[in-house]
Amino acid sequence: MNRPASRLPAIVEQHQKEVLADWLSNQASSGALRAGRIQESQLRDESQRFLALFTKAIQEGIEFETRGAQWADIREFLTELSRSRATQGFTPSQVATFVFSLKQSLFKRVNESLKSDPAALAGTLWDATIALDALGLYTTEVFQQAREQLIARQQEELIELSTPVVQLWDGILALPLIGTLDSERTQVVMENLLERLVATGSSIAVIDITGVPTVDTLVAQHLLKTVAAAQLMGADCIISGIRPQIAQTIVHLGIDLSSVATKASLADAFGLALKRRGLGVGRAATPGA
Amino acid sequence: MATDPETFPVRSGEDVVKARQVVRSRAMDIGFSLVEQTKIVTAASELARNTVIYGGGGEMRVERLYEGPKRTGLRLTFEDKGPGIIDIELALRDGYTSGNGLGLGLNGARKLSHEFDIWSKPGEGTRITITRWK
């Protein structure tokens, strides 16, 4: 760059105390504390640390680079700040405003220091704006990343959680389905069931749809495919949880479930499964009765 | 008499889920029985999915109908600007599908409704209206 060295680092260093005091009072009056989510002492501590890191970073080079080594500390600080504010329920713009709000007090000092040199004043203000904008936007980026990670984790958990295969008895598995059977989940459901059939050496699987609110043609198609795959592996399937309203709807839709044993309740399906295995449930002989 | 229609986008799998939820909640408001709710929700699910898969996305309009003090109903309109249906009679035949489904959804939605109206023009789009009375 063929520009004269920026005056910003010197000004910030010289007026660090006043800038901090100004910044804190601006933040207090702009309502950063009003929500009562963070303590004044915490905000003062964070502001102080940010300003110190900012001062240190611009001494080494005013050009902000996301990967620049001299910005590593301040990036780390902002990452932590952004994440902790996110969990405290702040919005992304409130977090970014923390950084942007430094401008007012900083510009005031720059103005005072360079009153007599308009060209240097404009250049210095521009430097400060660029650096602070980049840092402010960086908090938003981190905030968004944190959100996306959270959503992705929840989605994975949901897929895992909602498709447990449980063993009801030796050789009898149950697959209680809950929620919407979109294609991604159905795939997981199918794989889980087939794996567990092999792992447990089971010959009967009860697929319970009590927790599936709507059974339309796509859901029926997914069920039939799962049943067909299980049958190919030598296992029988029973579909349970066909409530009266679901039964009527299935008939209207013209879905043919006659190739599969169906039952109204999981208990009925379990009874049928036991019977197929040549087992039964009886009352235990009570001693002394 | 009908209320002003509410419009919902139907562009993705999530929108299909949302459409079902909206229809279920409106059906409950009107006082549909569990069986009636399930029927209209299932019909909505079929048509919404068709809108996404075959119509390339569109919208759903929901209207409540009042005819006299006792006759209330729910009218749903699904509209897309997709490729349209060339042979409607064939599309309505059970077991026929131009995609990978069971080929039962469109006619199933008709059988689950009291009134069924379909308009489609190749290259212009498709509009399907179903009504279920209480």
Per domain, the residue ranges of chain A are 8-157, 166-276
Q: B64 vs chain A: nearest CA distance in angstroms?
A: 22
Which of A59-68, A102-111, A161-170 has maximum average pLDDT?
Answer: A102-111
Fold of A8-157: Globin-like (1.10.490)
Q: With an 8 Å Cβ cutoff, are A254 and B49 in contact? A: no
pLDDT at position A253 is 92
Q: What is the pTM of this model?
A: 0.68
Is the model's pLDDT at A29 over the cut of 80?
no
> How far is it, in rounded angstroms, from Cα B105 to Cα B43?
8
The reported pLDDT for the residue numbered A8 is: 85
Query: Tell me, what's the pLDDT at A289?
Result: 54
* pLDDT at position B74: 96
For B71-117, what is each residue's pLDDT tens digit?
899 999 999 999 999 999 999 999 899 888 889 999 999 999 999 99
Residue A34 confidence (pLDDT): 54
Chain B residues 50-89 within an 8 A CB cutoff of chain A: none
CATH architecture of the domain with range A166-276:
2-Layer Sandwich (3.30)
**Beta carbons of B38 and A245 less than 8 Å apart:** yes
**Residue of B46, B102, B106, B116 best to disrupt the A interface, most CBs of A under 10 A:** B102
| A213 neighbourhood in chain B, CB within 8 Å | 20, 24, 41
Q: What is the pLDDT of residue A1?
A: 43
Q: Would the CB atoms of B20 and A214 count as touching at under 8 Å?
A: yes
Pairwise CB contact (< 8 Å): A215 & B42: yes
At residue A285, the 3 state secondary structure works out as coil
Do A217 and B108 lie within an 8 Å CB cutoff? yes
Give chain B's domains with CATH numbers: 6-133 (3.30.565.10)
Q: Phi, psi at residue B77, to the nearest 5°?
A: -120, 125
B:112-131 residues touching chain A, CB 8 A cutoff = 112
Mutate to test the interface with B, among A210, A252, A255, A257 (most CBs of B within 10 A): A252
Q: What confidence score (pLDDT) does residue A2 get?
A: 44
CA A243 to chain B, closest CA, distance in angstroms equals: 10
B31 pLDDT band, cuts 50/70/90, is very high
Separation CA A126–CA A109 (nearest Å): 14
Of the listed ranges A186-190, A273-277, B102-106, the one predicted with least confidence: A186-190
> Is residue B62 a contact partner of residue B5, using CB atoms and an 8 Å limit?
yes
Q: Which residues of A touch B38 (CB under 8 A)?
A: 214, 245-246, 248-249
Nearest residue in A to B41, CA atom: A214
What's the pLDDT tens digit per position in A55-101?
Answer: 888 888 777 666 677 788 888 899 998 888 887 878 888 888 889 98
Q: Please answer yes or no on whether B94 and A254 come within 8 Å at the CB atom.
A: yes
Q: Which of B34, B37, B105 sits opposite A216 (nearest CB)?
A: B105
Confidence of residue A4 (pLDDT cuts 50, 70, 90): low
Residue A237: its pLDDT value, please?
A: 94
Q: Which residues 17-56 of B are in CB contact (within 8 Å) with A?
A: 17, 20, 24, 34-35, 37-39, 41-42, 45-46, 49
CA distance to partner chain B, nearest, from residue A259 (Å): 15
Between B37, B45, B107, which is nearest A216 by CB?
A: B45
Q: Check B41 against A214: CB less than 8 A apart.
A: yes
Residue A186 has pLDDT above 80, yes or no: no
Please determine, for residue A30, whether its predicted confidence score (pLDDT) is greater than 80. Answer: no
Does B94 reach chain A within 8 Å, measured CB to CB?
Answer: yes
Paired residues of A261 in beta bridges? A238
pLDDT at B126 > cutoff 90? yes
- B-interface mutation test, from A162, A214, A255, most B Cβ less than 10 A away: A214
Tens of pLDDT along A122-159?
Answer: 988 988 898 899 899 999 998 888 888 888 888 777 76
Residue in A214, A221, A248 closest to B35 by CB: A248
Shortest distance between the Cα of B16 and any Cα of chain A, in A, equals: 10
Provide, as residue numbers in chain A, all residues whose Cβ is less than 8 Å from the Cβ of B20. Answer: 213-214
